[in-house]
């Protein structure tokens, strides 16, 4: 099927029930549908949007093109949860319907105000010459869950000095004033973030460009998110156009953060340290955070990347969201841990211990395609040691520690059906440590690895055969003690 511009930008009102039913049937036949991750009912999912706690529930929206695994006319799709673990599909939330979002309801955020949830998003429009004009728009969700779009944009122009790449507002409230950061591109084709303020979420004033220490850092900054944690200011964003540097910036686009002093609103300045990647794996982009009712900062990311074909495409859908992660700051870096409550998924537990001496070993009842695995390696003299997951006759996904290089390595070279090969099949990061622990969540077509209680995280889609269910532990060039616990996950 050729995805022409006309096919990508059809209104759902013009789509027959037969086409929707056919697409749903195609999706249901896919062998790589996930079990405990948020995924689209059909079509393409991308950025998480409007993440909020409202009316006693977590609400999470995502960018959605319903008709296929491509980037077309974007909508917001709505899911909700009481515990960040079990999610309920609510359905279509925001659809393009007026002159200000005619070519897509693009990414944005949410905030509670006056007993309602305000959804601030970028409306994408195109003229007859396909020139873009972005608007920042508002929809409002009542406590009953009904959503009403405002008939006018709340920010109707791009400030002088910036291109039409101007999107993804993230809103917060501070000292009685609402603020929003928006991802932007300067006229000189470099990326940045700008700041707006409002007293009522309807009338917004341009404060100016957020001053950072990153003047020439990629050509566009997407999905900015500012918050304060442990009395520090944190800016998360997704810069496009960074060149690879050693093990860093290996993906087509990156996502990361800077930490510094709290944002100086008067000077519109963020004094900060170096840029760190949030995730060292293959498939992670456009994260968004909220503060939960207990004051914890929770992050969800898109488990995917733009401009890459995935094996699920032929079944009419693409991508999912990551598990929610709690953020903390330790020694100037963000630590990410699976959100509390994910233990609710745990079913039957299996444990094993062994001293591995230049060998591989499989343990009784350690196998599967959906599980949580915690493995500790200690007292090691081995040159390298680790785990092989989703092992089959010719398939395996390898997570290991190279003690000579002092690097954690994620290798999906033989993980199953290959894709995105031009970006490589191995990811690495430096970690100088005596002991290593891996907390790993394996779903039907993904792996999320939390290293040493979240000091580093690797997220990856994998597409193995259903018969590839084995788990092996290994050491090479010496010995290591391994202790492993595995839980079946029950959704």
Domain layout of the chain by residue ranges:
5-338, 342-489
CATH 3.50.50.60 fits 5-338, yes or no: no
Is the pLDDT assigned to residue 306 strictly greater than 80? yes
Looking at every residue in the chain, the average pLDDT score rounds to 97
In which element (H, E) is residue 168 found? strand 162-174
Contact yes or no for 358/479 (Cβ under 8 A): yes
109-156 pLDDT per residue, tens: 999 999 999 999 999 999 999 999 999 999 999 999 999 999 999 999
pLDDT score of 199: 98
Is the pLDDT assigned to residue 1 strictly greater than 90? no
Q: How many residues does the chain have?
A: 491
Q: Is 205 exposed, middle or buried (0-12, 13-18, 19+ CB in 10 A)?
A: exposed
Q: Judge if 5-338 and 342-489 fold alike in CATH terms.
A: no
Is the pLDDT assigned to residue 400 strictly greater than 80? yes
Q: How far apart are the first and last CA of the chain?
A: 35
Contact yes or no for 259/232 (Cβ under 8 A): yes
Contact yes or no for 399/409 (Cβ under 8 A): yes
Contact yes or no for 39/317 (Cβ under 8 A): yes
CA distances from 5 to 44, 104, 123, 306 (A): 16, 13, 18, 17
pLDDT score of 2: 85
Q: Is the pTM of this model over 0.85?
A: yes
Q: What is the mean pLDDT of residues 17-39?
A: 96
203-238 pLDDT per residue, tens: 999 999 999 999 999 999 999 999 999 999 999 999
CATH 2.60.120.560 fits 342-489, yes or no: yes
CA distances from 62 to 91, 129, 320 (A): 11, 28, 10
411-463 pLDDT per residue, tens: 999 999 999 999 999 999 999 999 999 999 999 999 999 999 999 999 999 99
Counting residues of the chain whose pLDDT is more than 70, the rounded percentage is 100
pLDDT score of 169: 98
Q: What is the mean pLDDT of residues 59-66?
A: 98
Confidence of residue 264 (pLDDT cuts 50, 70, 90): very high
In the residue annotation, 151 being an active-site residue is answered as no
DSSP string, 58-114: EEEEEEEETTSSS--S-EEEEEEESSSSSEEEEEEEE---STTSTT-EEEEEEEEET
pLDDT score of 90: 98
Catalytically annotated residue among 14, 47, 114, 402 = 47
Confidence of residue 158 (pLDDT cuts 50, 70, 90): very high
């Amino acid at each position: 099927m050729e995805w022409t511009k006309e096919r990508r930008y059809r209104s759902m009102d013009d789509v027959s029930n037969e086409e929707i039913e056919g697409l749903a049937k195609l999706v249901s036949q896919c062998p790589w549908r996930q079990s405990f991750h948020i995924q689209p009912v059909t079509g393409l999912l991308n950025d998480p949007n409007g993440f909020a706690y409202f009316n006693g529930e977590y609400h999470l929206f995502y960018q959605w093109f319903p008709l296929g695994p491509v980037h077309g006319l974007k909508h917001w799709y709505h899911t909700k949860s009481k515990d960040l673990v079990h999610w309920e599909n609510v359905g279509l939330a925001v659809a393009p319907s007026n002159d200000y979002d005619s070519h897509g309801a693009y990414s944005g955020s949410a905030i509670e105000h006056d007993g309602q949830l305000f959804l601030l998003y970028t409306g994408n429009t195109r003229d007859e010459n396909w020139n873009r004009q972005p608007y920042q728009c508002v929809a409002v969700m009542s406590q009953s869950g009904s959503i009403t779009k405002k008939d006018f944009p709340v920010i109707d122009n791009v400030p002088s000095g910036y291109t039409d790449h101007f999107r993804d507002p993230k809103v917060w409230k501070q000292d009685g004033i609402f603020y929003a950061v928006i991802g932007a591109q300067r006229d000189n084709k470099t990326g940045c973030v700008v700041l707006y303020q409002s007293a009522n979420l309807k009338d917004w004033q341009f404060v100016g460009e957020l001053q950072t220490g990153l003047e020439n850092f990629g050509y566009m900054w997407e999905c900015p998110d500012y918050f304060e944690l442990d009395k520090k200011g944190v800016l998360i964003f997704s810069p496009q156009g960074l060149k690879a540097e050693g093990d860093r910036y290996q993906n087509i686009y990156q996502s990361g953060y800077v930490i510094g002093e709290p944002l100086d609103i008067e000077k519109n300045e963020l004094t900060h340290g170096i840029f760190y990647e949030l995730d060292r794996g293959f498939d992670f982009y456009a994260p968004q955070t909220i503060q939960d009712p207990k004051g914890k900062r929770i992050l969800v990311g898109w488990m995917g990347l733009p401009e890459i074909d995935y094996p699920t495409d032929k079944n009419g859908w693409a991508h999912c969201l990551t598990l929610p992660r709690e953020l903390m700051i330790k020694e100037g870096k963000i630590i990410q841990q699976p959100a509390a409550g994910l233990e609710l998924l745990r079913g039957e537990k299996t444990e094993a211990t062994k001293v591995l001496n230049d060998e591989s070993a499989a343990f009784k009842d350690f196998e599967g395609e959906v599980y949580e695995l915690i493995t500790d390696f200690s007292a090691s003299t081995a040159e390298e040691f680790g785990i092989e997951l989703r092992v089959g006759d010719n398939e395996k996904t390898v997570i290991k520690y190279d003690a000579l290089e002092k690097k954690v390595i994620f290798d999906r070279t033989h993980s199953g059906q290959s894709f995105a090969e031009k970006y490589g099949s191995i990811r690495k990061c430096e970690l100088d440590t005596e002991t290593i622990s891996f907390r790993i969540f394996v779903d039907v077509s993904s792996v999320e690895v939390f290293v040493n209680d979240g000091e580093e995280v690797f997220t990856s889609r994998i597409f193995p055969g259903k018969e590839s269910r084995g788990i092996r532990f290994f050491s090479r060039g010496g010995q290591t003690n391994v202790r492993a616990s595995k839980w079946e996950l029950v959704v």
